[in-house]
Amino acid sequence: MRNCVVAQSGGPTSVINASVMGLLSKNNEVGYFDHVYGGLHGIEGILKEDFINLSELSQEDIDKVKHTPSAALGSCRYKLKNYEDSKEEYEKLFEIFKKHEIKAFFYAGGNDSQDTVRKLSAYARERGHEVQFIGIPKTVDNDLQVIDHAPGFGSAARYIAVSVLESYLDSLVYSNNGVFITETMGRDAGWLAASGAVATHEGKRCADIVLLPEVPFDEEKFLKKVEEIYKEKNHVYIVASEGVRLKDGSFLAATKAHAHDSFGHAQLGGAGNALKNIIKDSGITSRVKVLELSTLQRSAFHLASSVDVEEAFTLGERALVLAKEGETGVVSILKRVSDVPYEVEYTKTDASNIANHVKYMPLTMVTEDGMNITEEALSYFRPLVGDLPEYKVLHRQHK
């Protein structure tokens, strides 16, 4: 028997299931493995031999799971240690592979999962185990190196862009509207916050200000800009990454939104609430609203980007092909060939190129004042986000 196992790890996304179903569908087509097992709750479940047989899924169920957000196999937050610190675990894992005649392990996840692929493939090579290890990338944060963009990001970006557009329209119905702040995920990299800049209304960008972790937050410059825009139109729309930082690298959220409630709980407000405090303190306006998009960013499949879903599916298919070609210690990735017409090509990279690296937004994408992204940079985001609804209002607040 030649079986394989696939598992999911880390935070959910809208399309991580599409990747697993892509892999399964390709195997159903080419029949390389006898059974494709799903390991429940990532490597934690594999260590407990908690498998299901995905090869028994009907086509109808495959289609349903492909279009389901979260992590259909369950996930874990487990980071595999080095062999030296965790010998028993490595040995147990390979015993389980042997027992179930598992010849390949596919891991869908971010940095940490690709580090697992790197470690296990190196270990297997050294010991002469024939098990192959292939990574399938995912992360809404889009902070994986080498790959043009990570599956999961496009759908999160689409959710953010649509939510920015709709909350923007909501935020300017009065004659005096104040400041509206939308906080996105992205602790290290600003890709998600930047995708808010894709939202436009009647040709004008909704977000006046976009704050990224890559640009140290300068309170004085920020308040000057907020005041200018507020004076001009009684309304300021800000998109801020949760990871906005001060010059010394500390999170804005930690320094300015830290609060204690009446029971003595420390409450760590987000970057949005920190900015709200700063703006209120400045006296510019007391009318400041904060919207935290929270976990819906990564799981709102109803707004999934179709490009993202199909790419995630294909990366899963391609992972199966890489195994068939005898690869190990690699990750199935894509590279962008062109923005318009949008085109990608599928390839592979060593897991070590992705593991433990972070891809920040290049400062060439950021406007000179550090508080928005350039028009040219939007060509990177647009094909991933897809078309946005076209709305029309009649009052003059937007002009």
- State the residues that interact with a copy of itself by CB under 8 A: 8, 12, 38, 40-41, 44-45, 52, 54, 61, 64-65, 67-77, 162-163, 166-167, 169-175, 256-263, 265, 267, 269, 273, 277, 280-281, 289, 291-292, 294-296, 298-303, 389-397
**Minimal distance in Å, beta carbon 336 to a copy of itself?**
27
**Ligand-binding site membership of 317 (annotated):** no
As a whole number of angstroms, the distance between CA 201 and CA 168 comes to 9
Choice between 66 and 245, CB closer to a copy of itself: 66
Residue 227, burial from CB neighbour count under 10 angstroms (0-12, 13-18, 19+): middle
**Minimal distance in Å, beta carbon 390 to a copy of itself?**
7
Tell me which residue has tokens 């300021």.
Answer: 236
Q: Angle, to 10 degrees, between the axis of helix 378-385 and the axis of helix 153-171?
A: 100
Q: What angle do CA 225, 287, 158 make, to 5 degrees?
A: 70
Q: Is 148 a catalytic residue?
A: no
**Minimal distance in Å, beta carbon 125 to a copy of itself?**
31
**Minimal distance in Å, beta carbon 236 to a copy of itself?**
16
As a whole number of angstroms, the distance between CA 184 and CA 138 comes to 18
Structure token digits, residue 33: 């493995």
**Minimal distance in Å, beta carbon 233 to a copy of itself?**
13
**Ligand-binding site membership of 218 (annotated):** no
Choice between 223 and 291, CB closer to a copy of itself: 291
As a whole number of angstroms, the distance between CA 244 and CA 256 comes to 11
Tell me which residue has tokens 């060439």.
Answer: 364
Give me the catalytic one of 61, 63, 115, 141.
141
- Give the residue from 26, 11, 14 showing the smallest Cα distance to 106: 26
- Long-range (24+ apart) CB contacts under 8 A made by 367-373 are 369/221, 369/225, 370/212, 370/215, 370/218, 370/221, 371/209, 371/210, 371/211, 371/215, 371/221, 371/222, 371/225, 372/197, 372/205, 372/207, 372/208, 372/209, 372/210, 373/194, 373/197, 373/210
Choice between 1 and 263, CB closer to a copy of itself: 263
**Ligand-binding site membership of 283 (annotated):** no
**Ligand-binding site membership of 110 (annotated):** no
**Minimal distance in Å, beta carbon 360 to a copy of itself?**
26
**Ligand-binding site membership of 187 (annotated):** yes
Question: Which are the contacts of 166, defined by CB distance < 8 A and separation ≥ 6?
Answer: none
**Ligand-binding site membership of 140 (annotated):** yes
Choice between 63 and 130, CB closer to a copy of itself: 63
Choice between 61 and 369, CB closer to a copy of itself: 61
**Ligand-binding site membership of 186 (annotated):** yes
Choice between 179 and 344, CB closer to a copy of itself: 179
Instruction: Return binding residues for Mg(2+).
Output: 111
Instruction: Return binding residues.
Output: 11, 111, 139-141, 185-187, 242
Tell me which residues are annotated as active site: 141
Instruction: Return binding residues for diphosphate.
Output: 11
Instruction: Return binding residues for substrate.
Output: 139-141, 185-187, 242
